[in-house]
């Protein structure tokens, strides 16, 4: 593998997150109303500052159109960020880097809204660690060495897989219904209880992987599993939808959810490659990515 492949993988990860989220915002929806329709939080502002009754505000079609316009505008911005992800490098002008940074901040804010919509379940917040972290890994790759990059990836992968595992197990947090639905649609299972047992085992493995990435002798293998499972769970979204009907409309309905989850497999693969470069190819831990960008293939 060429050293440039690391940079390409980081670019693709950020691209898929931004493009998938942009797709979602432009054609479907985003949880902005979780904040903008929060009566306890916003009713004093709406009623006392703007002089509008709360019931009139939440049922006003113009207000709803404004919210939808904001969502679509953010979607356009995410698409711009996806393009910036492919253009950015250590010599890129400040404007492109600022766009990418702002996009990462928007992803962080989106994650907060999604967490708020799930009654502030911490697992919902940390499940998006890879997605939120992808643009920042790309943005600062030239400033950090292999050791810092590897630690960052370990933390992101661990948080994402631990959170996903806790949901799949259903002990700490309620088992999401769509997990069961996808399992029933994709795998030749007979009963719902079998699907739940399968998800429980998968959840336990996710938790084990989240811990194993921090043990040097297990890191490489944990990353490999994370690559496989991360991509499988990403494509499970669209595969589950296609069991209903193989058509462009179904693809359109589920594709965005697959796109922004692809980094769940790509970022662990970056971690695996970095481990190989450190342990097998003799690159010193203090070597930065930018210094090896143009080295020969490995």
Q: Divide the 298 residues of the chain into consecutive groups of 10 and give the mean pLDDT of each group.
A: 81 98 97 94 92 93 95 98 92 89 98 96 97 96 86 98 97 93 85 93 98 96 98 93 79 94 98 88 52 42
The pLDDT score that the predictor gives to residue 39 is 94
- Residue range of the domain that includes 149: 4-292
The pLDDT score that the predictor gives to residue 297 is 35
pLDDT tens digits along 245-278: 778 888 899 999 999 999 999 999 999 999 988 8
Residue 99 within any structural domain of the chain:
yes
Q: At a CB cut-off of 8 Å and minimum separation 6, what does 245 contact?
A: none
**Alpha-carbon gap, residue 13 to 267, rounded angstroms:** 7
What is the number of structural domains in the chain? 1
Question: HEC states along 93-142?
Answer: CHHHHHHHHHHHHHHHHHHHHHHHHCCCCHHHHHCCHHHHHHHHHHHHHH
- Which alpha helices (DSSP H) does the chain contain, by range? 4-27, 33-36, 39-44, 54-59, 61-87, 94-117, 122-126, 129-140, 146-169, 177-186, 192-212, 216-242, 248-259, 263-279, 289-292
Q: Are 234 and 12 in contact (CB under 8 A)?
A: no
Task: Note the pTM of the prediction, 2 decimals.
Answer: 0.91
Give the CA-trace dihedral at 57, 59, 62, 66, to 10 degrees. 70
Residue 297 within any structural domain of the chain:
no
Q: At a CB cut-off of 8 Å and minimum separation 6, what does 275 contact?
A: 150, 219, 220, 223
**Alpha-carbon gap, residue 273 to 153, rounded angstroms:** 11
Residue 23 within any structural domain of the chain:
yes
pLDDT tens digits along 21-38: 999 999 999 999 999 999
3-state class (DSSP) for residue 145: strand
Residue 130 within any structural domain of the chain:
yes
The pLDDT score that the predictor gives to residue 169 is 96
For residue 268, the tally of other CB atoms under 10 A from its CB is 29
Residue 298 within any structural domain of the chain:
no
The pLDDT score that the predictor gives to residue 168 is 97
Q: Are 128 and 114 in contact (CB under 8 A)?
A: yes
**Alpha-carbon gap, residue 293 to 279, rounded angstroms:** 18
**Alpha-carbon gap, residue 198 to 168, rounded angstroms:** 9
Residue 140 within any structural domain of the chain:
yes
Q: What is the 8-class DSSP label of residue 45?
A: I
């Amino acid at each position: 593998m060429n050293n440039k492949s690391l940079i390409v993988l980081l670019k693709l990860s950020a691209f898929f997150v931004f493009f998938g989220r942009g797709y979602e915002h432009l054609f479907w929806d985003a949880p902005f109303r979780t904040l903008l329709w929060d009566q306890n939080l916003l009713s004093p502002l709406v009623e006392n500052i703007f002089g509008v009754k709360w019931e009139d505000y939440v049922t006003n079609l113009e207000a709803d159109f404004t919210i939808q316009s904001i969502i679509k505008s953010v979607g356009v911005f995410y698409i711009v960020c996806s393009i910036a992800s492919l253009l950015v490098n250590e010599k890129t002008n400040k404007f492109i880097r600022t766009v990418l940074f702002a996009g990462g901040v928007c992803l962080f804010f989106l994650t907060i809204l999604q967490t708020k919509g799930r009654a502030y379940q911490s697992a919902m917040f940390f499940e998006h660690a890879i997605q939120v972290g992808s643009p920042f890994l790309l943005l600062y790759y030239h400033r950090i060495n292999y050791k810092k990059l590897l630690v960052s990836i370990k933390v992101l992968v661990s948080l994402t897989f631990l959170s996903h595992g806790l949901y799949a197990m259903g002990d700490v947090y309620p088992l999401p219904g769509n997990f069961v639905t996808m399992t029933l649609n994709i795998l030749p299972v007979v009963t719902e209880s079998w699907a739940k047992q399968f998800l429980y085992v998968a959840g336990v493995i996710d938790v084990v992987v989240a811990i194993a990435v921090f043990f040097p002798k297990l890191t490489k293998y944990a990353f490999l599993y994370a690559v496989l499972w991360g991509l499988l769970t990403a494509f499970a979204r669209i595969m589950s939808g296609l069991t209903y009907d193989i058509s462009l409309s179904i693809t359109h309905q589920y594709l965005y959810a697959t796109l922004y989850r692809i980094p769940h497999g790509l970022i662990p693969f970056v971690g695996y490659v970095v481990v190989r470069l450190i342990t097998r190819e003799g690159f010193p831990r203090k070597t930065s990515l930018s210094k090896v960008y143009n080295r020969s293939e490995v």
